[in-house]
Amino acid sequence: MKIAAVQMLSTPRVADNLARAAALIAEAAATGAELVALPEYFCLMGERDTDKLAHAEAPGDGPIQAMLAASARANGVWLVGGTLPLRVDGRTERAHNASLVFAPDGTLAARYDKIHLFRFDDGERRYDEAATLDAGSKPVALTLHDRSGGAWRVGLSICYDLRFPELYRALAEPPCDLLLVPSAFTYPTGQAHWELLLRARAVENQCFVLAPAQGGRHENGRRTWGHTMAVGPWGEVLAVREAEGEGMVLAELDAGRIAQVRAQLPALSHRVLPH
């Protein structure tokens, strides 16, 4: 199955971001991709952290979710809607950072709320997601079918989750074929750790990893690392977008490659500590 990860440089204007995302989804689908993944906060990179609360949607309602459902249906693809803010119990002062997966018929197939909330302070840049977000609590994986009828187990995660291997171990019952990591890594943390962590998660779980990212200097002054990437189950980088700004990477999910890696080095069956 061909898969695509979209890189964006999102703005504070939701309507503009939705239009660009829809165009990039269609472009990916035109290459033959059956699964398309958008980056974290594809819909909004606000001037302030609290801006997301003004655009947070109720589950199942709102222009962001409507665009995702319509794009999945119009292009006949599995669509991973990066992330968007969803209201918590109807409240306007808190949100979940949620990743939604839509089936090719436009129906919602899965929702994952980001469990690990990012906090960073290097003296110049300060971020604290917990100031506006509530953390999720449940790992989420789904099984989807490609157009030929093949089944793929897909584990969901978001950005900072990448630093917590225990989440991916929780998703490995049974093992995943593909891990998704929509992200908006900061430039300094991405430069130091992005590729390292993506390849480590692929090696540990002997599966494919697809990581769509925000990439470049945003209008709010924040610079994200980009380097949208696809990684194979041996830890090999299959594709990477080196340039900042919009674009995408493509890769092929190959069940035979997963089976080969797990047969020659059956590390998943050698685990002995509680899990």
Residues with active-site annotation: 40, 114, 159
40 contacts 70 by C-beta, under 8 angstroms: no
User: CA-to-CA distance for 29 and 25, rounded, in angstroms?
Assistant: 6
- β-bridge pairing 215-217 and 151-156: unpaired
What are the φ and ψ backbone dihedral angles of 34, each rounded to 5 degrees? -100, -20
> Which contiguous run of DSSP H or E holds residue 173?
none
How distant, in Å, are the alpha carbons of 31, 62, 149, 253 from that of 239? 15, 34, 25, 12
Residue 66 makes CB contacts below 8 A (sequence gap 6+) with none
Beta bridge partners of 8: 214
